[in-house]
A and B are shown apart, each in its own frame.
Chain A
């Protein structure tokens, strides 16, 4: 059974702080994704990675960066948190193989930036 975990369920940070959100998957998936979820806007892709040290911008990368040093771990970094980054952050992973592209989600991190 696929397991995707995220480092925190809830996080409160102050404006200007550097924030690290971590995601770990245990199914040897090549692809990993970071989304933010806001009411009425659905799931918007921030960044994704299809291999170690590889990253691709999604639809809303501004204000975020990512790191993938190991296959199982994908980190989202908010270099200087702002109040408009208050949101639910969801990590997901999937295989690269065509026909097996189902994305499996982590439980989410609800971030509040004060």
Chain B
């Protein structure tokens, strides 16, 4: 089955700097890659996603890039703010039975004011 690896596990940045989180996947059939943000004590929520027919997608300060050949995708957060502090999870899905997601192990991002 699919294997998703996520790095780094923890990341600290100064407010205003950029943060990058990287994920790799193993199944070339995966075609949907969502990113979830989980604030302390809250549920994971989708912040951005990308499909395999697109190389990059942006939404204000966040962007995701996908390299299908190398089987990796990354989350980029620019001009980080303290409210960006959270755990971020990447996932991959091939749309097979039940649209099962395979999640990375998470990155704990701390933005230092």
Contacts and interface: CB of A to CB of B under 8 A. Distances in A.
B60 interface: no
Interface string B25-43: 0000000101010000011
A107 B43 contact: yes
B15 to A, nearest CB: 25
A21 to B, nearest CB: 15
A12 interface: no
A58 interface: yes
A59 to B, nearest CB: 8
A42 B5 CA distance: 10
Contacts of A50: 97-98
A63 B42 CA distance: 26
Interface string A33-69: 1010000111111001110000010100000000000
Contact of A48 (B9, B43, B46, B100): B100
A102 to B, nearest CB: 5
A48 B43 CA distance: 18
B32 A101 contact: yes
A94 interface: yes
Interface stretch (B61-69, B70-78, B103-111): B103-111
Contacts of A41: 105
Contact of A31 (B36, B99, B106): B99
Interface hub of B6, B100, B106 (most chain A Cβ within 10 A): B100
B45 A105 contact: yes
Nearest to A106: B43
Nearest to A45: B100
Contacts of A44: 103
Given A96-B99, A102-B49, A40 B105 contact: yes
Contacts of B9: 40
Given A90-B43, A106-B43, A49 B98 contact: yes
Interface hub of B32, B103, B104 (most chain A Cβ within 10 A): B103
Given A49-B98, A58-B100, A42 B6 contact: yes
